[in-house]
Amino acid sequence: MSKSAEESRRVIVKRFAEDATEACAKLFRQIALQSVEARGTFCVSLAGGTTPYALYERLARQATSQHMPWGELQVFFGDERDVPHDHVESNFRMTQRTLLDHVPIPLGRVHPMPADAEDLDVAASEYEKAVRRIVPAGKQGAPRFDLILLGMGADGHTASLFPHTTALTEQDRLVVAQFVPVLGRYRMTFTFPLINAAQDVILLVTGDDKGEAVEELLSGGADPQKLPAAGVSPTDGRLTFVFDAAAARRAGLRAD
């Protein structure tokens, strides 16, 4: 049964970035507990970039005070830069230092993207196989993450789906590697068929530099080729936008 528009999409606006981060942390814990209670595991894809940094630090600080089934997580990553895992620009390294090193997740349940591989196309295919092997399939046959956490850049990119890049139109592959001209380098990323198969997707966006993109994103009808975040639309799941007031102001939204 398909969900109503109200059930499938919600917007949360908090006054400050730290409040948006706390709201996201609360949702993260709720979805984790519900997933483990229902299926005995919590399959989650984490985001890179700057915005989730504070979220991971908060989750790590609350690891002992808030109940979380850390041992039941299966942790994947929605995108990665073409660098080794210990490189300062690695999404995995950032997540490891802010969160993974501080919570009791078994090492074998953490799955970093091999984005520094010699053959990135083969590496992306292997990562897709790992996702298919570990993440249970949904009704449509694609792996169905319990939660995919995303951020958004000022240009509207999400994961490593950048404006006017080939991955935006991918219909079959769930994980791809692509050259991003604006960056002059390669990235590995989830594609829309995988993102939109998730049970829950959270798009966490803070900062007034994102305001124009948020305004366009919420206005409806935005072209994913120009604003990739507009392509995030779970087919039978829920999309939650979590903004601070600075990011939501141009869209005319007030903080809760």
| pLDDT tier at 186, thresholds 50, 70, 90 | very high
pLDDT beyond 50 at 1? no
pLDDT beyond 80 at 7? no
| pLDDT tier at 217, thresholds 50, 70, 90 | very high
Q: What is the pLDDT of residue 51?
A: 86
Most distant pair of Cα atoms in the chain: their distance: 48
Mean pLDDT, all residues of the chain: 95
pLDDT tens, residue by residue, 40-67: 999 999 999 888 999 999 999 998 878 8
Q: Which domains does the chain have, with CATH numbers?
A: 9-242 (3.40.50.1360)
pLDDT tens, residue by residue, 130-167: 999 999 999 889 999 999 999 999 999 999 999 999 99
pLDDT beyond 80 at 6? no
Query: What one-character-per-residue DSSP string does 29-48 give?
Result: HHHHHHHHHHHS-EEEEE--
Q: What is the pLDDT of residue 66?
A: 82
pLDDT tens, residue by residue, 74-99: 999 999 999 999 999 999 999 999 99
pLDDT beyond 60 at 176? yes
pLDDT tens, residue by residue, 20-35: 999 999 999 999 999 9
pLDDT beyond 70 at 180? yes
